[in-house]
Amino acid sequence: MTDIYFIAQTEVETATATDIEFTSIPADYDELILILSARSTKSSTTDNIALTFNSSAAAYYGLILYQENSGTPASANASNVSSSNFLYATGDTAAANCFSTTTVRISGYTTTAAKPFTIESATTNNSSSVLQAFGNGVWNNSSTINSLKLDPTTGDFMQYSKATLYGVLSGSDGSTTGSSS
């Protein structure tokens, strides 16, 4: 049986925030799940969000991404980059009150081996303009991940953007039940 535990949540309470960061992440879990609902001040319908582990500017990331932008499929990949920019926020010119949804799942974040992660991210504009992406990445570093930073690449997070971090403990049989505490 797998248990999912709430670790921390950050909501942008004021007008804007330049980034959202989780620090002092406990090494008590088998994996982490990050859920983000975001809107950016960028004057566009979409803004990329950089995800950085442990504030590391070194080129440790490798990524493969599949995306669809308003019905047009595409793929992208990157290696030896300093952050993952394949997360998305709905931009300021999108319809009012629209926020992106993003989930990042990080396996083995406490091991000395490379840390694989998955990304699912989508923006909405209450119209035909939608950007959605899913992909896989790896953080090729031996350090335990003890902090996560989310930073829109052009704008800032707008009020009511929210990020929640969960820890996942797998049972001895490795099964997943989705129970929460």
CATH topology of domain 3-172: Jelly Rolls (2.60.120)
CA–CA separation, 80 and 179 (whole Å): 37
- 102: Cα separation from own chain's centroid: 6
User: Cα angle vertex 68, ends 114, 65, to 5°?
Assistant: 15
List pLDDT tens digits, range 122-172. 888 776 667 888 989 888 899 999 999 999 999 999 999 999 999 998 876
33, containing H or E segment: strand 31-38
List pLDDT tens digits, range 5-51. 888 888 887 889 999 999 999 999 999 999 999 999 998 888 989 89
100-107 and 115-122: which strand pairing? antiparallel
CA–CA separation, 162 and 8 (whole Å): 11
Q: What is the pLDDT of residue 175?
A: 57
* Contact criterion met (CB below 8 Å) for 163 and 23: no
3-state secondary structure of 26: coil
Residue that wins the pLDDT comparison between 85 and 35: 35
